[in-house]
Each structure stands twice: as C-alpha cells, then as structure tokens.
Amino acid sequence: QTQLRVAGNFSQNQKHVGIESGFFADLGAASGVDVVANYNPMDVVGVQASDAFRMLRSGTFDVMSVQIGMASRDDPFFEGIDLIGVSTDMEALRAAVDAYRAAFDARLQARFNAKVLTLWPFGPQVFFCNAPIETLEDLQGLRIRSFTPSMSAMIEHFGATPVTLQFSEVYPALQRGVVSCGVTSPTSANTGNWPEVTTHLLPLAVSGSVQGHFINLNAWNRFSEEEQIALQDAFAALEDQLWELALTANGDAVSCSTGGECVEHKPFDMTLVEIGDADQAAIAEVAETVVLPIWRDTCNAVDPNCSTVWNETVGAARGLEIR
Amino acid sequence: MIGVMGAFGGFLTMLALMFSGLPVAVSLFIIGVLGATLYLGTPTLMVFGGQAWGSLNDFVLTAIPLFILLGELLVRSGVTDGMYRSLSDWLRRLPGGLLHSNVASCTLFAAVSGSSVATAATMGTVAVPIMKERGYDERITLGSIAAGATIGILIPPSINMIIYGSMSNTSIGQLFVAGIIPGLMLSGMFMLYILIVAVIRPAIAGTPIPIAPLSVKLRNLLDILPPMAIFGLVMGSIYLGWATPSESAALGVMGALMVTMAKRRFSIALLHGALLATVKLTAMILLIIIAAKYLNFIIGILGIPQVLARTITEYGVSQLQLILILVLFYLVLGCFLETLSMMIATIPIVVPVIVSYGIDPVWFGVFLVVMMEVALITPPLGMNLYIVQGVRTSGSIVDVMIGALPFAAIMLGMVALLILFPGIALWLPEQMFDRPLR
Amino acid sequence: MDDNPLERILGPVVRLVALLGGYAILAVAVFVSLEVVLRRTVGVSLQGADEFGGYALAAAAAFGFAYTLMLRGHTRIELVLERLPRRAAGVFDVLAMLAIAGMAVFLFWRGWSVMGESIEFRSLSGTPSQTPLWVPQAVWVAGLGLFAVYSVLAAGHALWLAVTGHPGLHRWYGAKSLEEEIAEEKASVTGRGTGIGGDAP
Ligand code: NA
Ligand code: NA
C-alpha cells in the first residue's frame, strides 16, 4: 500500500476542499490502485501557498494543490499559463492552458522534481467596486487592491492606484472606503460577502486564477506504469470536475450577487455592468503593451527561452505575440 | 497514523521538557522534531527553515513589537502617575476609596498596554506606596492591583489576542473589539465587589486624600487624556477602516512618541532603552512562535486535532461539557505555566476541536484570554502576584495570593456569564463589523 | 551578571545588532503611519508597507535572539529547578544551553538553505515590488548566524563552568529567578532605562 501526503486548497474554499477531500478519500477505490492519502488543507497545516514548489521538490508533501500565481515567485515561467488580459473568458483560458500544459510539465519535472496531474481555474477574476463603474475608464483615480506585479501594472495603466492588502483585509477595506475596488472570483467574493460592501460588478475576467495538483516525482515513480495510467485517469476526471465547478459556480455567484436567478449562493443586489467592446479591447491592449513585456523581462532573466516557448504555445492559441 | 495515547504522550513529554528548565521554545521545537522524525521523515524536518521564515515574515505579527514599543514609550514618559492621581480625584468618595482608583487606572492603562504584567508593574509602582501610606487593608489593595492589571490583555490592544488571532486565523480587529465589553464588565464587577466589602467592613479603606478644589480636579483631568487619545487613535483607526490592527499599532507608536515629547521626557537614551526592551521581548515571543508554528505544522500533518475531535465526539461530549472541561484544563495548567507559553502550546490542538464543535473562534478568543487572566493570579505560579509582591518589597506573598483569590472567583463568574450570554463578547463586533465570521 | 566574560567580549556587538533591530521596528512604525495618512488624505499608497514590515519583523526578531539569550530572556520555567540542589540544577542549566545552541544552529543551517534556494531560483517576492527574496532573507540569516555563534559559545562556556565547578554557571546561565524578573520589571517602570526592562505578556 502506498501512502500519499497531500496538502490541499485553502479551507475557506469549502467547495474545492470538499471535492478534493472526497476525491483523495476515494482515490484507492476509484482508481483501483492500492493507495491511501492523508489529506489536509494547506492552511490547516500552516503551509504557505508560495512555498509549494519548494515543498514539492523536497518531498515535504507528495501531492499539493498549488495556487500557481502565488507559487510562481520561485519561477515566473509558470505564471505564463494565465497572464493578465490574455484569456478573458473560460473557453479562451482552456485553450491557453491546454497549449501550455506540456511545456509546463516538462519544466516542473526538470526544476522542481514534480509532475502535473491537473490544471484548472479557480474562476474568472473580476472587479467588485463600491463606486459607479460603467467602463474600465471609470477606474481612473480609484484605489484598487492589487496582489501581483502585473495587476499593479494594469491598474496603473487605467490611471488607478494599486493598494496591497491581504485577502482577509479587503472586506473591511471596501466597507470603509480604504479601497474602491477589489479583484477576485465571483464565488470568493460571494462567500466573503463582498457584495455587502460593493455596488458594481464588472464581469470582465482579467485572469482565471489557474491552479493545479502536482505530485513529487519520487512519489510518482513508486507506482507501476499501469497504476500511473489509472491515477492519471482519476486526476483527469477531477480536473474536468473542477473546470465545471469554475463555470457553473461562478455563473451562479454572479447571478446571485446581482439580483438574478439564484441557486446556491447568497442573494445580493449589485449592479451588473455590461462589458462593451471597448473594454475588451482595453484589456487586450493592457496585455500587449504592459503585462507581456513585464513578464518577458522577468521570465527571460531566468531563462532566455521563456518568451519563445510562450509564443509557440499560449501565444499561438490566443493570437498574441511577445516581441 | 498516531493515536490519542501517542498525542497525549507527546503533550506530557513537552510539559516534562518545560519543567526540566529547557527554554519553552526549545521544548516545543524538540517535540516537533520528534514528531517529524518518528512519524514523517526527513523532508518535514528540513523544511523548518522555510516554515520559520514564513512565521516571521508576517505583517500581522508586526503588531506585537509595535504595541510593546507603544507601552514602553508611555511608561517611560511618566504619564501613569498623573493618570492615577486624576482618577483618584473622582473616585475616592466611593466606599473603598482609592481601591476603585486602582481598578480604574488598571482599566485605563489596559487600553494602551498589550500586556498584563506590564500593567501590574506600572500600576503597582504608582499605587502601592500611596495606599500603604494611607493605611489601606493590604490584602485587598494588593489583590485589586494584581487582578485589575490582568484586564490589560482583555481590553485592546492585547498581545495575547494578536497571537491567538494569528495562530487560529481569526480576525484580530474583531477580537480586539470583542474584548472591550467583557473588559469593562470585569472592571465593573471588581469595583462592585470592593464597594460591597467596603460597606460591610469600612476599615479596609484608609484615610482619604485631601479634597482638591474643582478647578484643580478639572485641570488634573488632562492627565487621563494621553492614554485616552492613544486608545482612540488605535481603536478609532481600526473602526473607521483607516487602518488594519498592525497599522493602528504603528499609529499608536507615533502617538506615544508625541506624548513622550509633550511630557519633555524624550531623549535618545529613553528611545534606545525602549527599543532594546522591545527587541528583547519580541525576540523571546517570536522564538516561541517559530517553534510553536513548526509544531503546529507537524501536529496538523499527523492529524492530531481530528483524532482528538473524533475521540471527544465518540464519548458524546456536548458543547457545554467541552467548554467546562477546557475551563478545568486551563485552570489547572494555569497554576503552573506562564500564560504565553500555555496559550501557544495549546492553541494548535484546542482551536480545531472547538471549531469542529461549532464554537465561534472570536468568542473562544475572549474566553481563552479571561482564563489566562485567571492564570495570572492563581498560585503557585501567577506572574501578577509576584510582580505586585515585588513592588511591595516586604511582607509575605501569601497576602497577595489571598487578596487576589476573590477576584479570581469573580473572573470565573465572568467566564460563566460568557458561556450563558455569548453576546457579551460577540454583540459589539457584530455591530461594528456587520460580522460574517469565517 | 556583567562580569560574564562572554558578555564582556561579545556584549557590545550583540547589543548594537539588537538596537538595529529596534530601529527596524521604529522604521516600520514611521513608514506604516505615513502609508495610512497618505492613503487617507491624498489617496496615495506607498505600496508594500505590509511586505517590508514583514521583512523588518523577521530581521528584528533574528537580530534580537542572541541579545535575549545574553540577558537570559528566553522563557524558562524555573519552578522545579529552584527546588533542586545547586549541583543538580547546574546539570539542567547546561542541558538547556546545549539544547538552545542546537536549535539555533539548526535554525541557522535551514535558514541558510532557504536563502540558497532563493538565490538558486532567483525568487522574487511575488508582490508588486518584485523584491529579490534573497536580500531580506540574507539580513535575516545574518541575525540567525549571530544567534548560532553566541549560543554555541555560551553553551561551551556553560559546559566548561560546570566541569570546573565554577559558581558563575548559576549566575550567568541559570534560569532567571522571579526576584530578578521583578527587579527588571520595576527598573523599566521607574524609567531607569537600563534597556533590559521587559516582561512576559
Ligand atoms: Na490592553
Ligand atoms: Na497561575
């Protein structure tokens, strides 16, 4: 019998943790592989999301649920899967993720002794504002909470001020007007009661907050080839389930938050802003002129092939090019 | 992976290491290392450096040195004497006289101090000589200071609440606000007790301080302004959403610096003294936190809280019974352990269990802090007892212990009220934060 | 207390480093206050007050570990030791010093490797400032290094004192008695400013 030590998603993401813990409890029976998993949400064991790649490499955990954006501090290449402004809807995002998967996996194996099992989005990252917003232009002059370098660059591009705050501090900050807007997924915002302290929802996805399940290679190689195939099938099913969740749950969360039909989130009465073509174009322009060049400089500093690989994969899938 | 007996054995080993005089941080660390090597393997041991960096590189915890620095600056600025004198002006007519000033000064100083021991030392130094001179009953005098000072960790700011919030992922702002009403109630209950005793046995109160004319009384009132203003700055900035708790601590330090300058006490020597005292205490606390968070990591992977919660549920323990067990647990442990070590050593195990029982973590934070207050004045080891005894310099420690005992009983009464009416702790945060917790 | 030869030789350095840590905390207070005021009044955010506050805390704590050890400020429970004969308590004092030296060296070694990985991966902070992580970590590791060196020397010294039966063992490396803690607490209140006033919260 093989034991797997698993660090899961954040416990406040109850849906995801529910799916994960069920999946890992069931893994042996579902895959027919003799395996037992010891699953804990990462915050329960005091693991920081940004340490994921190091912990995978050292074998502290065998399998980890990784927030790629946070973990990319140890290698900006991985951030390339979901750069701001590149994929503005879930369909585009899936194409980008599938295009990047092989390169992503190869690099993860080479640098961090780990292998990709799943890649999936947490959900579209959209704007929640407590000021009347009709287009992206209205962001001018506002204070907006930012948590990544590219997001700060984007916010500044729109003439707004980026403010860094921890997630737990955003609700009171919105409530008291410390910031005017926060960016997160509709489900996170709904469970965090952001609609109580914001009025306008701009459903333009600046990214999809892509996450993944990765396994330490030593742990992976303990399985026979047939077992590996069976496990891969099981994880593929998990990946599909999590993509599905991102679509349905966030659709429901947007609807609930804006007074529409509501199944499983808390009902609120925010204004749903309509996205115009101008906004789509503005986001695409930010990607081309601000985000991609910044990422190119950061990533090529670590590995000069970064932008080439990206152009051949995500770039080709999305019709963008880093020069 | 590890059973209840194994976990219990680990806990006893940890206590044994502590009582053998190993530094508390090292005792926690050794238990973590044992858990990692016996059950989990080398990688979980080697990750200690990354976990330590993660524990320290945390803006939330900067509130600890900032609030310590705030207190150090204020004490050195000498605002406390004036504060005590001014409160005495107004309270000495009550039966019990200056005894009420003790409790009130402690409560007011609690509003700027994050620590109960600091409150005891400060107010003890100010009050004990005056009370002695005026012939007050020694036991109740000493008890009122030792016990009144414990309110320092219940009324915000509170270092114990910052540590609890950080280790249990509970909002520190909400914890701070939740402590205000219980803190004021406790201080009111202390004063009521003094009042009753003074009516029955008027002899406990000594000769009153001569009455000052109203104009002097009003002018003296200025002396209670600095602590009030700093409390207003700290809690107001949190409430208005101008600042997070750590940021409010920074504002408080600026306020304290200004008070030092306004009192014409500021000097480089004073600043360096305050900074070194702050670093010393911060390093002590954070070394314990590094070890405790590492132990927390090992305990979490081993699944000990889940095992414990399951066992307790299997025995059919109800929510109320669980709380009563915890009252007993902390009462006993509190006789022998210093409060900070006790909190840090038990939070990783206890909090997951109480959360699985549906107990509100903010309420539990207040409950825990009141239990720590009890521990501060229960013999044989109660830090506040010894501090007050130390200020007094003569007589037996037994006087302080006996004097503090009724106050400990009142605190347990407060615990009972908190259990019966959780709203005492939760009402204010609900009003102020439209609190959707967790 | 001050006649401890180790403290006489290394004390000034250890104290200076601790004071630097204190100034780091003061700098956080100033920087964060400025951030709050600017954010409220002009709507400008200095960006990264939280990030640099975290680095400052890590540095200040690490810079203080050796200082706190020198002042015997790392909490020990003396309840049992006080009741033991001086000889037996001395054995536990040596054990305590050896154990804290072991922890300090291990912490330094693992901290060093964290910094090494940050250099190897060229890790950036992942915050808008994109700070190279090894920089704040190097400052932190330097503090841990001082802690490791001081604690190893102190443990060796304590062991030597025990072997030679020197009475300094109890005075310099024994658990702090309540009387001493109270005296320090009072000293800090009465503002004699010895710089060693502190307390357990
Ligand atoms: Na307080
Ligand atoms: Na006690």
β-strand partners of A115: A215
**Is the per-residue pLDDT at C197 higher than 50?**
no
Tell me how far apart the alpha carbons of residues A71 and A66 are, in angstroms, rounded to a whole number.
Answer: 7
Banded pLDDT at A43 (limits 50, 70, 90): confident
Return mean pLDDT, chain C. Answer: 86
pLDDT digit string, tens, across residues C155-195:
999 999 999 988 888 888 887 766 676 677 666 666 533 33
**Is the per-residue pLDDT at B91 higher than 90?**
no
Whole-number pLDDT of residue C188: 65
Mean pLDDT of C104-132: 92
Banded pLDDT at A293 (limits 50, 70, 90): very high
Handedness of CA B233, B238, B241, B243 (dihedral sign): positive
Tell me how far apart the alpha carbons of residues C185 and C181 are, in angstroms, rounded to a whole number.
Answer: 6
Mean pLDDT of B387-403: 80
Residue from the list C40, C137, C200 with its beta carbon closest to the beta carbon of B53? C137
Residues, CB within 5 angstroms of ligand 2 (ion): B 334-335, 375, 378, 381-382
Tell me how far apart the alpha carbons of residues A139 and A142 are, in angstroms, rounded to a whole number.
Answer: 6
Place of tokens 């529910």: A18
Q: Which of B:135-174 have CB within 8 Å of C? A: 153, 159-160
Banded pLDDT at B434 (limits 50, 70, 90): low
Whole-number pLDDT of residue C193: 35
Structure tokens at B127: 């009050």
**Is the per-residue pLDDT at A79 higher than 50?**
yes
Give percent of chain B above pLDDT 90.
39
Task: Give C82 Cα–ligand 1 centroid separation in angstroms.
Answer: 32
- Mean pLDDT lowest for which of A212-221, B1-10, B275-284, C110-119? B1-10
- Mean pLDDT lowest for which of A149-153, A200-204, B161-165, B177-181? A149-153
Mean pLDDT of C33-61: 86
Tell me how far apart the alpha carbons of residues B67 and B251 are, in angstroms, rounded to a whole number.
Answer: 10
- Mean pLDDT lowest for which of A164-178, B40-54, B412-426? A164-178
**Is the per-residue pLDDT at C196 higher than 70?**
no
Handedness of CA C53, C57, C59, C64 (dihedral sign): positive
CA closest to A176 among chain B residues: B241
Tell me how far apart the alpha carbons of residues A78 and A75 are, in angstroms, rounded to a whole number.
Answer: 6
Whole-number pLDDT of residue C51: 87
Whole-number pLDDT of residue B1: 58
Whole-number pLDDT of residue B111: 85
Handedness of CA A217, A220, A224, A226 (dihedral sign): negative
| B57 to C30: CB separation less than 8 angstroms, yes or no | no
Whole-number pLDDT of residue A258: 93
**Is the per-residue pLDDT at B436 higher than 60?**
no
Tell me how far apart the alpha carbons of residues C67 and B277 are, in angstroms, rounded to a whole number.
Answer: 10
Mean pLDDT of C128-137: 90
**Is the per-residue pLDDT at A149 higher than 80?**
no
CA closest to C103 among chain B residues: B26
Residue C9 falls inside a structural domain: yes
Return mean pLDDT, chain B. Answer: 87
- In the three-class reduction of DSSP (H, G, I as helix; E, B as strand; rest coil), residue B300 is classed as helix
- Containing structural domain, residue C18: 5-185
Mean pLDDT of A195-200: 92
| C25 to B282: CB separation less than 8 angstroms, yes or no | yes
**Is the per-residue pLDDT at B437 higher than 50?**
no
Return mean pLDDT, chain A. Answer: 90
**Is the per-residue pLDDT at B343 higher than 50?**
yes
Q: Of A186, A179, A191, give the one whose Cα is nearest residue A203.
A: A186
User: For chain C, how many structural domains are there in total?
Assistant: 1
Question: B-chain residues within 8 Å CB-CB of C76?
Answer: 21-24
Mean pLDDT of A43-72: 90
Place of tokens 């302080």: B400
**Is the per-residue pLDDT at C89 higher than 90?**
no
∠ CA B187-B190-B196, rounded to 5°: 140
ipTM passes above 0.85? yes
- Mean pLDDT lowest for which of A26-30, A189-193, C58-62? A189-193
Q: Of A193, A187, A182, A80, give the one whose Cα is nearest residue A124.
A: A187
Whole-number pLDDT of residue C132: 93
pTM of the model: 0.88
Banded pLDDT at B438 (limits 50, 70, 90): very low
Q: Which of C:20-39 have CB within 8 Å of A? A: 39
β A161-164/A143-146 pair status: parallel
Banded pLDDT at B44 (limits 50, 70, 90): very high
Residue C48 falls inside a structural domain: yes
β-strand partners of A272: A201
Tell me how far apart the alpha carbons of residues B339 and B92 are, in angstroms, rounded to a whole number.
Answer: 33
Mean pLDDT of A251-263: 92
> Which parts of chain A are beta strand (E)?
2-8, 35-41, 63-67, 114-121, 126-129, 143-146, 161-164, 181-184, 200-202, 210-216, 271-272
**Is the per-residue pLDDT at C199 higher than 50?**
no
| B300 to A45: CB separation less than 8 angstroms, yes or no | yes
Radius of gyration, alpha carbons of chain C? 20
| Contact residues for A7 (Cβ-Cβ < 8 A; gap 6+) | A40, A41, A42, A45, A47, A52, A55, A61, A63, A64, A65
Tell me how far apart the alpha carbons of residues B127 and B103 are, in angstroms, rounded to a whole number.
Answer: 10
**Is the per-residue pLDDT at C1 higher than 70?**
no
Whole-number pLDDT of residue A99: 96
- The residue among C20, C26, C137, C196 with the most chain B CBs within 10 A of its CB, best to mutate, is C26
**Is the per-residue pLDDT at B381 higher than 60?**
yes
